[in-house]
Structure 1
């Protein structure tokens, strides 16, 4: 024990000094207490003690001590010091510790690192030298490694990066840095960390105990947009003997939205063909914004009165407005359009919202160009059905196309995809050969419609023809059968299994019926048994009689 008496006149700093020193002395005091207890032969009964038991005090050893450090002593309560007992250590940790076989004193055989292993579990055995037999039941005990302040604080979440809006007020939270210390938190102030700002004044400050970095004065992004702050972490509350580590924090100032987008041009002229499909890009418009990042992101739109035919989408990469066709247009109905577009920021600071009330606008004139448009089919595709074996000239179905232009050019049709079909001038498809479903059950055709006044104007449509089945195939044996039978075969012996197939398509499974041919009907040497099974499982047997 260490006795300290503090009188009322004792200086406060003296008290503070002793409070800080005691944690450093604690490992040494613990070892001293161990040695003192052994000198006094302090006996700590084991909770498992019956008639006799092991005796030892708390076994501890400071880390990083040189090899040979005394740890403690274990003994049997039967040991009266006559040197007739022999002590032994067992277990995987015996490579780190040794024992004086006569006294039971334990020593560390190497430097120990608490951060690698803080507890060692060993087993002890005591033998009677004269008999060679165990005196005590083998026992397990633990050696605890005491911490030393040998690890500096480390910042584990590096690199630290933060973004804070420019002109943020004093006290604004920026980021929190955290250092970790591998020493034992239960050993005094070994892991008690204080943070200090090494570089970053006068714009930033750090809270000593939390590592929270805050704004210390307002900053302007246009003057400097990035700051590098160095934070130091010291353990032991920064007292003498403390270890330290540093980290660098990259802090960027983000822009605030204090500028609205403005169109570069007040007037745009575009043209579009009347045949252009919906979604066609007509042209691009562009506004500029002095801000950066998301504050410069823009959203283009068309004033409500002009939004039925056209629309504007924003290219998020280039920040351009792409004018697109929203619905079909017809030169014969209207050959030009006038629209007004406007632009505004996507993200507007509420404090600056009044600045963005009146968005910038520009005028767009769209001229419609007349086009000779190709014919179009009334359906996107056609599906027809026909039975097989129909004669030449059987009608399959009719397709129809029209010229969308005012002059209504006549249409002629052509067909490709199979030589089994043809098409006439009114779009009627007919057969030119008999169709066999077993050869092809489906035909994929293509019909092309061409304007007679301009053969360059044409369009095509897919046509699918399904061929229906009729029962036009007789059953067939699945193979040629050549059967042999021994002359001494017994009656009823199976000599052949036969099966049949049918190439026609059937919704249900095929059923076959087997019987002798007419010329063999009176042949009494063999008998045919008809199982009347499905073709997939059909097996017929011939029996010798």
Structure 2
């Protein structure tokens, strides 16, 4: 029932408020109002409980009547109104005590007024009743719609959250009197957001009604309505918007953009060369989209793959040198996984995504290749000019098999022909140089820029081409009284030729000296020169 319709009924219920009771009540209402004197006189005032509906569009609305029980119709009594709003908002008929409201009132601005009443004898000018307080209440009507005070609303929830998950709570307030019927009793409803969301009618709690996939839609606008009067006819309403964003969960595994990648690498490329990139896509974002690429084990000998953390690409690199002539194409398989996987979401990441990479090795014009890393030859010293030393051999590793030319730079002792045969140009003397270190060059005749070198070591072998020589020139002195057999000098010899063991020399005097000499030679590896007979002390000439 509208509160305006209650006014006649309220005014029809007489309620006598004694002056002291009214004063006490008004003090409780006012709280900090200064206390007024408490009269102990006889009860004399009579009035009804006063109430004025708010928002009345009238310039004069009868509120009620104040009356003293001393008023017997004597025209000498006069009523006066004092206090809040007296004379401006409320006026009194000083003869009858009828009170009128002159202005439209708003309960939300002020819900009660405390006034004082007097009755004066106009003949004597004295009060015939003690001054008394009374209250005029402003009764509520449903003139305020619900308002959401905490706007704007925004919530973030994980995608794929189960039904019934809490999202956010919205709250509206109504300025009407909560004690006055259903004016401030609210009900919430969802105007926009079905079928993914629902709202609890009495609490404003928004919950999930259906699972949502961020990759299909990452945010939703939900409109909530609040109605007062628990939604009955005549209710007022207010609305608010809620922006609900879905945060990402790792519910997508990466997928290669291509099922086959074709890459090329030159056979001359060094280890570590980047030969191409592959790319997988992941519909997740942020950390959930970080990837790790790898090669299947069978393909990990020649190639490797690393992850570019900035671009999330897989960079294919050369792990081992390739040779076009040995193998000119490879078929490898790469795989990709998410770097971070939630243990609760492993169902989405059971098998990694794979792709095939075909690598074509391109031929390069490579320099000649010698059959050996080095060559070691032997030749006896003293061999004539043009003697054979050895043969080196190099080939063109490329398909066209270019003819090879050979040369020995900066050598005056050896030369080499187009077959790789090395011969001498001068006689070799081991005693002058026992080793010759050469560098043989091989040059492609179709491309003279392609050159290779190989070390060649030539050892000159010994022949017995040198006679023994005494180690030094000997001058020996002997005393004249030297005894026969006395050692007077030890002599030795050397040989420039090489020997597999120590040299053994044989010493002897000439035949002439053997017969006429006063000395003998004893061969004891080292030659011992001794007296043969007693001598006078002489010195050699």
TM bin, normalised by shorter chain, reads 0.3 to 0.5
Q: Give TM-score, length-normalised by structure 2.
A: 0.46
TM-score (structure 1 length as normaliser): 0.45
